Structure 1
Amino acid sequence: MWTLGLAGQLCWNIENQWFNTFVYAKIAKDSSIVALMVITSALVTTFSTFIFGTVSDRIGKRRRFVSIGYIIWGFTTILFGLTEFAGRGHVGTGAKISVWAAVLVILADDFMSFFGSMANDSGYNAWSNDMTTDKNRGQVGAVLAIQPVIGTIVGTVLGGLLIGAENNYQRLFWAMGLFVIGTGVLSLFLLKDSPDLKPHKEGSFIQQFASVFKAEGFFSHKELMLACITSAVFFISFNVYFVHMGNWMIYRMGFDASRMGIIQGVSLLAASLLVIPAIGIINKSRTPRLAACAIILNSIGLCILSFFIRPYSVHTGVVFSLQNSPLFLSVFLAGAGQILVTQSMTMWVKELYPETSRGQFEGMRILFFVLTPMIVGTIIGNIIVKKGAGSVVNEFGITENIPVESIYIWGAVLALSALIPLYFAAKLYNKRKNRSLS
C-alpha cells in the first residue's frame, strides 16, 4: 500500500506541480494552456476510472490493472517530457507561440492521465478500499492522506533539485518515469488481491456501467452525496490557487525551482505530522469535526498568503530567513487544512461504498474530488490570473499571465463555503453513528 501509493503520488505531483511550470518554461507563459491541460486531463481521468472500475468489479480483480497501468504510466510520463522539443525555438522569442506545441503538450498530459487513472484511481484506490476494515480505517486514512503530502514534499524538493537553475526538465521526467515503471514491474510479482473480492456482474457491461448513475444507485445515498459535495466545493477552492502556486513563487515572488521546492516541502512536512492525531479522531467517529477544523485552517493560511505576502516581503536568496517565516506559516496552514480534509473526507466517503461496487463508486468519488473541482476551479483560477495585475505584455508583444496574491483570497472564500454542505452531511453522519451504537 505504501510503495504503490507513494509512487503514484509522486507521479501525480509531477503533473500537478511541475507540468504547469514546464509549460511556462518551455512552451508559453499562457495560463489558458495550463487550464486546458487540467480540464481535459480531469475529463480523461474520470472516464478512465469509470471504465476500468466497472471492469475490475465485473471480473473481481484489481492487481493487473494496477501493475500494467503503472508500467504504461511511467512510459507516458517520459513521453510528456519530450514535448519540450516541439516548443523549442518559440519560448522567449518574438515568434508566435506554436499552436502545435500547445496541442501536443495537452494531448500528452491526457494520455498520461488515462493510464495513471487506470493504475491509481480505479486500480490502487479501489484495491486499498478492499483492504480496509472498521479496525484499520483511521490508519488507512492516514496512509492515503499522508501519501499525497509525501509525494508533494519529495516531488517538489527533489523535482526542484533535478530541474535546477538551468530548467532541465528531462532529468525529472526520465527519473520519475523509470521509477514508476520499476514499481509496476515489482507489483506484478508481489501484489495480491483481497481474498474477499469477488466478481460482481449486473447485466451487460453497459448496463452495469450506467447503473451507478441511476436514482437508486449513487444518488440514493444522501450522506454520501453531501460528503462528496462538501469535498467538491473544497477542492474547487484548491484548484483555483494550487495550479498557479508554483508559477506564482517562481515568476511573481522570484524564487527558483529548487528554493520553491524547499519552501513547500518543509512546510508540508510539518503539516503532515497532523495526520497522526487525526487517526484517533477518525476512529472515534468525529470525522465531521476534523473536516470543519481543517477547512478553517486552510482558509487562514490562504488569507495570510493574500494579505501579507508580497515580492518585497520575502528573501529569495536565503530561504530559511526570518523574513520568510510568514510564507512558511501560511503554506503550513493551507497545507495542513488540505491534508486533513483529504484524510477525513476520503475515509468518510469510502466508508459508505457498497461492497459490490467499490470500483464504480471510486469513479463517482473522482467525479466529485477531481473532475468537478479541476474543471470549475481551474476555469475560475484562469479568469482570476488573466484579469489580475500580473498579466502583462512583454517586449515581444506577447501577453504573459503571472499569478498574483488575490487568487488566494478567492480560494479562502470558496473553501469556507464548503462548511455549508458539511453541516448537513454531519447531521446524517452523527445520526448513522448513533443508530449503530444503539
Structure 2
Amino acid sequence: MTSPSPRSDVLPSTPNAPDRIGARAWWAIIIVGLVGQVAWVVENMYLNVFVYERITQDPTIIAVMVAFSAIAATFATIIVGAWSDRSGRRRRFVTIGYVLWGASTAAFGLLAPPSGAVAAPFVIAAIVGIIALDCIMSLIGSGANSAAFGAWVTDVTTPRTRGLADAVLAMMPLLAMLLVFATLDGLTRQGDWRLFFCITGGATIISGIVGGMLMRDVPKIPSVDDEESVWRRMLVGFRPSTMRANPSLYATFGMILVLATASQVFLPYVIIYLQYGLQVDSYALVLGVSLIVASLISVLGGVLMNRVGKRRMLLPSAVLFAAGLLGMFLARESVWVITAAAIALGGMMIAFAAASAIARDETPQGHAGMVQGLRMVAGVMIPMMIGPFIGAWVIVGSGQTYVDLGVERPVPGPEIFLASAIVLVLVPVLQFFHDRAQERAR
C-alpha cells in the first residue's frame, strides 16, 4: 500500500459528502454524540468519585485505572477504525457498539456495595474488578464512539462544514456533564450508585438504536487499499512513510496530545477537589453554571471559527484555556470558581474543536477510521497515561489532606490547575511546526 498523499490536507477526505449537513445527520450527531459523552462522563469522572468514596482514596489507583482504560480504548479504536474503513459500514458498528456499551456501563452497578464502602478484605478484589470492567467498557465504547461514529462524522462533512460540526461535538462533553449533574448527581449523593449506572447504561442503549435509524453510511469509494487486511490497515498510520507524507497531520496530533494531557491533569480529580478540597456543598450547581457559560463560549467560538478559520482560532483558545486554569488556581469563592471554570472549559472545548476539525481536513481519503485511531493515541491513550499521574504526583506532593471519621485522607489542591496550565506552553511550539509543514507542502 502506498502512503496517503501529502496533499490530502487540502482535499475533502470524503468527496461524496455534500457541502451542507442534512437534518437527519444533525440529529444523529446530536443524539449519538451527546449520549456517548454522557457515558464518558460516567466513566471519566463519576467512576473516579465512586472509587474514591467506596473503595480507596489513593489517587494513584485512580490514575492506574484511567491509564489502563485509555490503553484499552485506543486499541479498540485502531482496530474498529481500520475495520470500518475497509467495510465502509460505520452505522452497524455504532448501533451494536452502543447497545453493548450501555450494558457494560450498567454492569458497574453490580460492583457497587448496597451501602457504605467495600469491606477492607475485599478492597483489592474490588479494585481489580473495577479496572477490568472499565477496560471492557472502554474497549466497546471507543470502538463505537471514537472510531465508528467519529469516522462517520468525517464521512458526512467537508472542510466547509466541519468547523461548526466539531464545535457542536466539542460542546457535547460540557452538555453531558451538565445533564448528569442536573439529573443524576443526586443519586450519587444518596449513595444509589446501582440506579445511577443503570440509567446511564439504558440511555446509551436507546441512543444506539435511535442512531442506527438516523445514520446513513456514505457510499464507499473503491480503492487499491480495499484488498489489504484489517491488520495491515491498522499499521498504516504508524509507518514512517505515512508520517513523512503527512507532516502537518501529525503536528496536529501533537497539539491534540498536549491539550488532552493538560485536561487530564485536573479533570479526573475536579469533582473531588470541589467537594473535599474547597468543601463546596453545592459543587453540582457551581459546575452546572460553569458548563452553561462554557457551552455558550464554545458555540460562539464555533461560529467565529467558521469565519476566521480553524488555525487562527487554535492558539487564542489555548491561551483562554490557560487563563481559566490560572484563575482556578487562584479562585476560592464560588463566584470566582464559576468564572474561572467557564473560561477554562470554554477555551478547552474551542481548542479541541479547532484541532479536531484541522485533523479531519488533513485526513487522507479513505482513511477516516485510521485517523480516529491515531487521534485516540494522541488524544486519549498517551494523555490519560501521563496527565492523571501528573495530577496524582502534584496531589501527593502538595500534602493537602482532610479528616474523615478520624482518618486523614489526601485531597486534591489547586496546584493541579497550575500544572495543567504549564503543560499548555507546548501548544504554540507545535503550531509553529504545523504551519511550517503546511508551507512546505504548498
Query: TM-score of the superposition, structure 1-length normalised?
Result: 0.88
Paired with 1:305 and 1:162, the residues of 2 have a C-alpha distance of 27
Q: 1:269 aligns with which of 273, 277, 292?
A: 292
- C-alpha distance after superposition, 1:170-219 (max 9, x if no partner): 22211111111111223333321113565752533322222221112245
Q: Where does residue 142 of structure 2 map in the other structure?
A: 117
- Equivalent of 1:171, from 195, 213, 217? 195
Equivalent-residue separation in structure 2 for 1:430 and 1:15 (angstroms): 41
Aligned length: 413
Trace 1:87-126 onto structure 2 (pairs within 5 A): 90-91=117-118, 95=120, 98-126=123-151
C-alpha spacing 1:9/1:361, structure 2 compared with 1 (3 Å):
same
Q: Secondary structure at the match of 1:347?
A: helix
Aligned to 2:156: 131
Change (3 A) 1:427 1:219: closer
Q: Does 1:409 align with 2:437?
A: no
Residue 303 of structure 1 corresponds to which residue in structure 2? 326
| Residue equivalent to 1:361 | 371
Residues 135 and 418 of structure 1: CA distance in aligned 2, closer, same or farther (over 3 Å): closer
Q: Does 1:62 align with 2:90?
A: yes
SS, match of residue 400 in structure 1: strand
CA shift digits 1:256-304 (9 cap, x unpaired):
4xx2222112112111112333334433453233111111111111112
Kept after mapping to 2: 8 A contact 1:218/1:361: no
Residues 219 and 11 (structure 1), Cα distance of their counterparts in 2 relative to 1, 3 Å cut: farther
TM-fit CA distance, 1:391 = 4.5
Partner of residue 72 from structure 1, selected from 92, 97, 100: 100
**Amino acid paired to 2:423:** L
Cα displacement (A) at 1:228: 1.1
Deviation at 1:88, TM superposition (A): 6.5
Q: Using the alignment, how far apart are the partners of 1:286 and 1:141 within structure 2? A: 13
Residue 25 of structure 2 is matched in structure 1 by: none
* Counterpart residue identity of residue 16, structure 1: N
Choose the corresponding residue for 1:426, options 414, 430, 435: 435
Match of 2:214 among 162, 168, 190: 190
Q: Distance between the aligned counterparts of 2:361 and 2:235, measured in 1?
A: 22
Aligned residues of 1:60 and 1:198 also touching (Cα < 8 A): no
- The answer to whether residue 356 in structure 2 is matched with residue 346 in structure 1 is yes
The residue aligned with 1:321 is none
Supply the distance in 2 between the matched residues of 1:155 and 1:197 (Cα, whole angstroms): 40
> Are the structure 2 counterparts of residues 328 and 395 from structure 1 closer, same or farther at C-alpha, using a change threshold of 3 Å?
closer
Determine the structure 2 residue equivalent to 1:232. Answer: 257
Higher alpha-carbon deviation: 384-393 or 342-351: 384-393
Q: Is the 8 A contact 1:28 1:97 kept in 2?
A: no
Higher mean alpha-carbon deviation, 205-214 vs 12-21, is at 205-214
Q: Cα–Cα, structure 1 residues 424 and 143, in superposed 2: closer, same or farther, change >3 Å?
A: same
Q: Percent same amino acid at aligned positions?
A: 27
> Retained in 1: the 8 A contact 2:182–2:288?
yes
CA contact (8 A) 1:385 1:391 kept: no
CA contact (8 A) 2:259 2:352 kept: no
Query: Is 1:207 aligned to residue 224 of structure 2?
Result: no
Between 25-34 and 64-73, report the one with greater CA deviation. Answer: 25-34
Contact 1:61–1:197 (CA under 8 A) maintained in structure 2: no
Q: Aligned partners of 1:213 and 1:153: how far apart in 2? A: 37
Aligned match of 1:48: 76
Farther-moved stretch of structure 1 (190-199 vs 225-234): 190-199
Q: Aligned-residue CA RMSD in angstroms?
A: 2.2
Gaps of 5+ in 1: 315-323
1:277 corresponds to which letter in structure 2?
A: L
CA contact (8 A) 1:33 1:106 kept: no
Instruction: Report the TM-score, using the length of structure 2 for normalisation.
Output: 0.87
Q: Which residue of 2 aligns with 1:372?
A: 382
